[in-house]
Amino acid sequence: MKEKLEELKTILAEVDDISRAVAIANWDLETYMPPGGAEGRGNIVATLSRMAQETFTSEKVGGLLDELMPFATELDKDSDDARIITETKRQYEKLVKVPAEMVGERAQLRAVGNPAWRESREKSDYSIFKPHLEKMLDWVQRYADLFKPYDHIYDPLLDDYEANMKTVEVQETFDTIRPQQVELIEAIAAAEQVDDSFLHQAFEEDKQRQFGKEVVGAIGFDFERGREDKVTHPFATNLGYGDQRITVRMGDDFFNPYLFGALHEAGHGMYEQGISKDLARTSLYTGTSLGIHESQSRMWENLVGRSKPFWDHYYPRLQELFPSQLGNVSVDDFYKGINIVKPSFIRVEADEATYNLHIMLRMEIEIALLEGSLSVDDLPEYWNTKFEEYLGITPDNDADGVLQDVHWSFGLYGYFSTYALGNLISVQLWEKVKEDIPDLEAKVGNAEFKPLLTWMNEKIHVHGSKFPPQELMQRVTGSGIDGTAYISYLKTKYGDIYNL
Interface with a copy of itself, residue 30, by CB under 8 A = no
The verdict on 39 binding a copy of itself (CB under 8 A) reads yes
Least distance (Å) from a copy of itself to the CB of residue 192? Answer: 47
Q: Does 151 bind a copy of itself (CB under 8 A)?
A: no
Site for a copy of itself in 205-224 (CB under 8 A): 222-224
C-beta neighbour count of 262 within 10 angstroms? 30
Nearest of 2, 10, 465, 29 to residue 231 by alpha carbon: 29
Q: Measured from the CB atom, is 32 or 254 closer to a copy of itself?
A: 32
Residue 60 found at the interface with a copy of itself (CB under 8 A) = no
Q: Please, what is the minimum distance in Å from the beta carbon of residue 245 to a copy of itself?
A: 9
| 17 makes contact with a copy of itself (CB under 8 A) | yes
DSSP string over 60-78: HHHHHHHHHHHHHHHS-TT
Is the bond into 131 cis (omega within 30 degrees of 0)?
no
Q: How far is CA 129 from CA 112, 113, 121, 377, 395, in A?
A: 10, 7, 8, 11, 18
The Cα 356–Cα 173 span in angstroms is 12
Per CB under 8 A, the list member of 4, 7, 30, 33 interacting with a copy of itself is: 33
Is the Cβ of residue 27 or residue 489 nearer to a copy of itself in the bound state? 27
DSSP state of 197: G
Q: Binding to a copy of itself by residue 51, rule CB under 8 A?
A: yes
User: Can you tell me the distance from the alpha carbon of 401 to that of 358, in angstroms, rounded to the nearest whole number?
Assistant: 10
DSSP symbol at 192:
P
Quickly count: other Cβ atoms within 10 Å of residue 385's Cβ: 12
For residue 77, count CB atoms less than 10 angstroms from its CB and return exposed for 0-12, middle for 13-18, buried for 19 or more: exposed
CB of 15 to a copy of itself, least distance (A): 9
65: number of Cβ within 10 Å: 19
How many Å apart are CA 169 and CA 40, to the nearest integer? 43
32 lies in the binding site for a copy of itself (CB under 8 A): yes
- Which one of 4, 7, 13, 235 is in contact with a copy of itself (CB under 8 A)? 13
Taking the complex as a whole, the smallest distance from the CB of residue 226 to a copy of itself amounts, in Å, to 6
Q: Is 3 in the site for a copy of itself (CB under 8 A)?
A: no
Question: Stretches 15-23, 353-361, 395-403, 483-491: which one binds a copy of itself (CB under 8 A)?
Answer: 15-23
* Contacts (CB under 8 A) with a copy of itself, residues 331-390: none
Interface map 224-243 toward a copy of itself (x if CB under 8 A): xxxx-x---------xxxxx
CB of 20 vs a copy of itself, minimal distance in Å: 5
Sheet of 244-248: strand order equals: 226-230, 244-248, 236-238
244-248 and 226-230 beta bridge pairing: parallel
The question of whether 265 is a catalytic residue gets the answer: yes
Q: Which of 87, 228, 265, 272 is catalytic?
A: 265
- Binding flag, residue 4, a copy of itself (CB under 8 A): no
Site for a copy of itself in 270-329 (CB under 8 A): 280-281
Distance of CA 491 to the CA centre of its chain: 24
Find the binder of a copy of itself among 3, 6, 35, 373 (CB under 8 A).
35
Q: Which residues are catalytic?
A: 265
Sites of contact with a copy of itself (CB under 8 A)? 13-14, 17-18, 20-22, 24-25, 27-28, 32-41, 43-44, 46-48, 51, 222-227, 229, 239-243, 280-281
